[in-house]
Amino acid sequence: DVVMTQSPLSLSVTLGQPASISCRSSQSLVYNGGNTYLIWFQQRPGQSPRRLIYKVSKRDAGVPDRFSGSGSGTDFTLKISRVEAEDVGVYYCMQGTHWPLTFGGGTKVEIK
């Protein structure tokens, strides 16, 4: 199975400052057709997960543009340009290229 490794496990950020979360896969996530199926989710306390980014860098409608995704192959990053209070929660990456689908362990973001 593809192992998704996120770092750091937790992040304490001052309001208005940037944050960056790394996600590394044990195999390349490039599919035969050239697409890379890497998704980022946000899970706020007590809520269901919410998709933020799909196919590495495509931002969902309604997601603030302070969120961005980048990367290729086995190395991916979620960046928050200026953290706001509503960004508190746990962030997960997930790969959809190989069966079974697998999630990273999560990165908890809190406000300093």
Partner 1 sequence: QVQLVESGGGVVQPGRSLRLACAASGFTFSNYGMHWVRQAPGKGLEWVALISYDGSQKHYGDSVKGRFTISRDNSKNTLHLHMNGLRPEDTAVYYCASGAVAGDEAFAVWGQGTMVTVSS
Which residues form the interface with partner 1 (CB under 8 A)?
1, 31, 35, 37, 39, 41, 43, 48-51, 54-55, 58, 60, 90, 92, 94, 96, 99-106
Q: Which residue has tokens 């208005």?
A: 16
The least CB distance from residue 37 to partner 1, in Å, is 6
The least CB distance from residue 88 to partner 1, in Å, is 17
Q: Considering the complex, state which of residue 13 and residue 93 has its C-beta at the smaller distance from partner 1.
A: 93
The least CB distance from residue 85 to partner 1, in Å, is 23
Q: Considering the complex, state which of residue 41 and residue 80 has its C-beta at the smaller distance from partner 1.
A: 41
